[in-house]
Amino acid sequence: MHISAKADYAMRALLELAREPSRPLTCEAIASSQEIPFRFLKSVVGELRRAGLVRSQRGCEGGYWLGRAAEEITLLDVTRAVDGELITLRGEPLAGLDYPGPATGLPDVWREVEAGAAAVLGGVTLTSLLAGGATGARGVTGAAGAAGAARTEALARRGAA
């Protein structure tokens, strides 16, 4: 799985905004604090604004705020806002993927990888990251790992039958 620079920068920018909810922050301040290229950040923030994840105010007192409460914004929301589909294969979504013969089950595996990633990203909010770093994701990761192990075991039993 590939995490784009755009998604990474978007998450970091939103975390800066979540950390300072009482005042708007400029793109310059966010770019400087997170060491993100300013021009790229401007583009990313525009996408976040169109998705409703940030709101803006013009003028000398202007800048950006979160568009929703930090506890309502998940990393899945952010990723989908800037990248669209979570996982693609050769640029196409996994939904209609179908293979013949011995590869018949492979698309199901790819879709489960996507579902697992969505479960992890959907279980981590900006608030949980600010409160405890990556610890907010550990429980979700463990659950996704257990689900994957159960699937592997079920496939092994099916193959042995």
Q: Would the pTM count as exceeding 0.85?
A: no
pLDDT band at 154 (very low <50, low <70, confident <90, very high): very low
- Each residue's pLDDT tens digit, 50-89: 999 999 999 888 899 999 999 999 999 999 999 999 998 9
Per the CB < 8 A criterion, the answer to whether 85 and 115 are in contact is no
Q: Where are the domains of the chain?
A: 5-160
136: pLDDT strictly greater than 50: no
Could you give the percent of the chain with pLDDT greater than 90?
A: 70
Q: What is the mean pLDDT of residues 82-104?
A: 92
152: pLDDT strictly greater than 80: no
- Domain 5-160 falls in which CATH fold? Arc Repressor Mutant, subunit A (1.10.10)
